[in-house]
Amino acid sequence: MSLNANFLYFCLNFIEKIMKKVLAIAFIGGLLAVSCSKKPDHTLQDSNTMLPEPDAPTVAADSTAKPAATPAAAPATSAPEAAKTDSTAKK
């Protein structure tokens, strides 16, 4: 090989190595620029946060209280007695 061919081969290898490094640095710089760029403000969009519960009146239940017994069926004679006390009942 002549001196010119060796010099040309050396220059092409040198340029190729430099270009690989330049391209790698440009690629990494581009990724950093994209990731660090200012993001748009999305405060007006719906969020995934839970809303507070509305204030509702609470009824305190006694956990020690016994359940109320169901009333027994009234006897058949209670209807006329109810008519005596009812002012709207027919006589």
Residue 44 and residue 11: Cα distance in Å, rounded? 57
Band of pLDDT at residue 15, cut at 50, 70 and 90: very high
Tokens at residue 59, please? 């009824």
pLDDT at 47: 65
CA angle, 64 as apex, 61 and 67 as ends, to 5°?
75
Question: Which whole number is the average pLDDT over 21-31?
Answer: 95
Q: What is the average pLDDT value for the chain, to the nearest integer?
A: 75
Question: Which whole number is the average pLDDT over 53-74?
Answer: 68
Are the C-beta atoms of 82 and 89 separated by less than 8 Å? Answer: yes
pLDDT at 31 over 80: yes
pLDDT at 53: 82
